Each structure stands twice: as structure tokens, then as C-alpha cells.
């Protein structure tokens, strides 16, 4: 997919640089430690149909550097989606391109496998920990989404 911002056209590339930027900028932080799951979180938002993930994806995969004018970014999104008329097509194309990236697929699959292996332990902990019990359904839902979309 190509996008033009401030007169600069760029093809979105889901290469190692994009993976690094996704994990650096969009990962959860636990106890001050970056969890390296930014690519996974962006992908989950994309497959859930969260249209607000589009600017983040453009920022990590577009090669525009620091986009200083968000209005120009939003204008570009309006343009590629034909004012929202083609939003589903754009989301599907982004999903397909991301799934073609060996870097993203490897990272997302590894993360998913780690979570799947941890579920029995989380289920045991959920018996005595209300926070874990509340979070476990969301974790299982995320794993299901990843299994259904990879």
C-alpha cells in the first residue's frame, strides 16, 4: 500500500525496522520493562477492526520519520479510505500485508505460543487472584483472535 503525506509518497513496509518501531513505541510496560508486544497489540487492534490503529501502522511502516503534522496524516488516511467509504478494504489490505511479513508473523506467533503455554498457569492463579480471573477471558480472546487470523 502506498500513501502520500506532505507530498512525500511512501510504500508501507512491514520490515524489521517497522517491527522494531512497533515494539519500541506501542508495547505494554510492566514494572518499567518494555514487553516487546507492540507488533502484537497493533495486529490485534487491526483484526478487531479498530480504525484508530491506522495512523500507528503508518507511523511504523511508512518510513516518513517523525510526522509533525497529524492533520496531514489524517488527510492521507481520509484519502486512502475515500473518506471512510473504503475503510474495510484498507483494513483488509493492511492485515494482508502485515501477515506477509516474516518479521511480524514470527514475532506475533512466538508471542501467541508463549501466552498459550502460560494459560494453564494463569487458570490456576485465577482461582485465587481476582485480577487474573478478570484478565484471563481477555487473554484467551486475544489468543483466539490470533489463531483465527494468522
Residue range 56-86, pLDDT digits in tens: 999 999 987 666 678 888 999 999 999 999 9
Tell me: the pLDDT tens digits for 134-144? 899 899 999 99
> Has residue 16 got a pLDDT over 90?
yes
Cα–Cα separations (whole angstroms), residue 52 to 122, 127, 132, 136: 30, 35, 28, 25
Mean pLDDT estimate for the chain: 91
Task: Compute the distance between CA of residue 31 and CA of residue 95 in angstroms, rounded to an integer.
Answer: 31
Contact 96, 33 (CB under 8 A): no
Q: CA 91, 62, 13: angle at the middle one, nearest 5? A: 75
Tell me what pLDDT residue 53 has: 96
Amino acid at each position: 500500500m502506498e500513501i502520500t503525506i506532505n507530498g512525500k509518497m511512501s510504500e508501507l513496509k512491514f520490515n524489521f525496522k517497522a517491527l522494531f518501531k512497533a515494539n519500541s513505541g506501542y508495547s505494554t510496560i510492566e514494572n518499567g520493562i518494555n514487553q516487546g508486544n507492540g507488533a502484537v497489540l497493533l495486529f490485534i487492534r487491526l483484526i478487531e477492526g479498530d480504525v484508530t490503529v491506522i495512523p500507528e501502522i503508518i507511523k511504523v511502516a511508512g518510513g516518513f520519520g517523525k510526522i509533525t503534522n497529524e492533520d496531514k496524516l489524517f488527510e492521507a488516511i481520509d484519502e486512502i479510505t475515500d473518506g471512510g467509504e473504503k475503510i474495510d478494504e484498507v483494513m483488509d489490505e493492511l492485515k494482508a500485508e502485515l501477515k506477509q511479513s516474516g518479521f511480524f508473523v514470527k514475532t506475533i506467533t512466538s508471542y501467541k505460543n508463549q501466552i498459550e503455554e502460560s494459560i494453564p498457569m494463569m487458570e490456576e492463579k485465577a482461582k485465587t487472584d481476582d485480577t487474573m480471573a478478570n484478565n484471563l477471558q481477555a487473554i484467551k480472546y486475544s489468543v483466539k483472535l490470533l489463531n483465527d487470523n494468522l
